[in-house]
């Protein structure tokens, strides 16, 4: 084989390798953008289910075709003002926030769905009362007391909205303070953990 043919063969193989790597990278970015996205747990609000620094995979497409269900762990955009627990309506003593502010925040939160559209929700000692019945929530870290743990006056979750709460009920800024979240602000449902290796599994 001549030197010229060897050079052409080498350059052809190199070009093929570059194309394969570029295609794989494009597919990975496409999957992350449209199908599955990794997410890092930033706070202790979902303990004991999810720890700070743990990483989950989020299904970005599932909630576009089906409605979230009570019990799902969801990544979403909270309303503007959520960082300082601002409600979209004047607060009522003993009642959770019934409506968020109109604007959507650009940050991402992860919480659990505890109320679906039409549900009547109240909270006693950090535990959800849904449609008049206490829910079984073995996964939560209970409240330790105080005003933020109990909202005994029920609210009704509006159509196409979802009431979100962290599993760490005494250390979670959630729908109790800034209201239910519209479905259009939901990014997707977390379905598995992939880091650290000792906590790999499905949610």
Could you list the active site residues?
45, 111
- Torsion angle in degrees (nearest 10) through CA of 55, 115, 172, 174: 100
Q: How far apart are CA 17 and CA 60, in angstroms?
A: 31
45 — phi, psi (to 5°)? -65, -20
The SS3 call for residue 153 is strand
Q: How far apart are CA 102 and CA 86, in angstroms?
A: 11
Q: How far apart are CA 55 and CA 195, in angstroms?
A: 5
Residue 96 DSSP symbol: -
Residues 168 and 88: beta-carbon distance below 8 Å: no
* Burial grade of 103 (CB within 10 A; 0-12, 13-18, 19 or more): exposed
Residues 118 and 156: beta-carbon distance below 8 Å: yes
């Amino acid at each position: 084989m001549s030197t010229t043919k060897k050079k052409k063969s080498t350059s052809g193989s190199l070009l093929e390798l570059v194309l394969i790597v570029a295609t794989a990278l494009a597919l990975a970015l496409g999957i992350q953008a449209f199908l599955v996205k990794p997410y890092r747990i930033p706070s202790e609000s979902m303990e004991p289910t999810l720890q700070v620094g743990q990483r989950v995979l989020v299904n970005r497409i599932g909630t576009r075709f089906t409605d979230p269900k009570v019990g799902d762990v969801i990544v979403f955009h909270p309303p503007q003002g959520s960082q300082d627990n601002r409600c979209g309506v004047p607060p009522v003593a003993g009642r959770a926030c019934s409506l968020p502010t109109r604007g959507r925040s650009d940050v991402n939160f992860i919480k659990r769905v505890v109320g679906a559209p039409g549900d009547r929700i109240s909270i006693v000692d950090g535990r959800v009362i849904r449609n008049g019945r206490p829910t079984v929530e073995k996964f939560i870290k209970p409240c330790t007391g105080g005003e933020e743990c109990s909202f005994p006056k029920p609210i009704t979750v509006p159509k196409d909205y979802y009431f979100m709460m962290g599993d760490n009920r005494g250390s979670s800024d959630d729908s109790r303070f800034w209201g239910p979240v519209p479905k259009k602000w939901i990014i997707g449902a977390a379905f598995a953990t992939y880091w650290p290796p000792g906590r790999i599994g499905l949610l």
